[in-house]
Chains A and B, each alone.
Chain A
Amino acid sequence: MLYTDERDPGNEMPEFGDHVDKTMFEQILEMDEDEKERDFSKPLIYNFFEQAADTFERMERELEQKNLSELSRLGHFLKGSSATLGFIKIRDSCEVIQEQGKLAGSESDLAACLDKIRDALAQARNDTDELRNLMIKYFEN
């Protein structure tokens, strides 16, 4: 998309494209005692994807309910997790959801917010799917 990581591409890092902030993600990888086993980062990241899938489901439900505040809360929540891991594309989408969820205004605004949230959610799911595949490839190799 529009947001890309423009810092020099590291060569030792696997290619996650613009999905991942390398610094944050490397910090996570660094915490592994064993670089082959990766028994800290691997469950952490797999867990994140489960958490993300769960959160997306909840978001869908809240969208139906037009529950903006809950959407905002969920957006904030997933934003924190994704930012911690350096998953910046997901983070950005979550941020949109959080921010849009905050906007409680006129009825047309509500619809607009919900539309934006719907788009951001779709984007986030897409990005998450892509990234999950990349991560699985990375960790299972």
Chain B
Amino acid sequence: MELVYFLIETIVKVGLVFGVLMGCVAYLTLAERKILGRIQVRYGPNRVWPFGLGQPIADGIKAFFKEDVIPAKADKPLFVIAPMISITAAISLFAVIPFGGVIEFFGREVSLVIAKLDIGLLYVFAIASLGEYGVVLGGWSSYNKYGLMGALRAAAQMISYELALALSVMGVLMIAGTLNLVEIVQQQAGWHWNAFYHFQFFPFIFYLICGLAEINRTPFDMPEAEAELACGFNIEYSSMKFALFFMAEYAHLVAVCAIATTLFLGGWDGPFNLPPYLSWIWFVAKTGILVYFFIWQRGTFPRLRYDQIMRFGWKFLLPLTLANIFGTGLYMVLTG
């Protein structure tokens, strides 16, 4: 009987998270266009329903009904699988992210996370780098030189920044002593946020920069680089396959922000305690602020050049994140 309850509970949670996430992704496209519009002295979408609220739905319908073109010389199986890999990886990340405390539900203790994995953070990095395969394979399989260059850039960027990304959270791991994301959040309860309480502010910034590179956004949108590569890896994609890449990018963006919230900003812990069944509000609010920052900086920065990104990753971020490990070690020894 316990197994049935567990299955029902998990299925409901998966459905809920998936639904909310997809809704977020859809409306994130609208939010991005609206916020960028605000920055760029224009309106953004405002034709479909009040404030353009129907725009994501309209876009979705349009993407579904567009002709799906597969280039004659493309590697068809890979070409089809690539966007699936991207979107699957991006969504799977949410399996281990805790978005609230433990609540009482029909006499059952339900914790607001899909899987309380002991190797949660390891899982996150594994799945996140899997997502890059979608980009690499998509660009490579489309038989297009621009796509190929986008794929090569994606591969190079992935290796360089994945390293710095993993190293930037080492400090948090050392302090927490666990890879379980739920426990990491619980340790930060009561304003003991890693970013401020344990002097992990700079790693937090490094994490955000690497996160930008990880999800290929300006100023690190090398695989896409609209100006020189004319959309890079997704140049040959159309219809829903293109939309899947797009959704994967936004889902990944939300995931990166959610992980940052979990690791550095205390997860569902807030300035004052809400009842457990409302604790997700803090989590959503913090993630939302980070997402806003990611959109905001897109309206501000030009794009870096490929070699500069590589240099920045290897010569600047990597040594600093390494130094942070030593710094954190020193801090732990000194404070006991």
Indicate whether A and B interact.
Answer: no
Instruction: Give the A-binding residues of B (Cβ under 8 A).
Output: none
Instruction: Give the B-binding residues of A (Cβ under 8 A).
Output: none
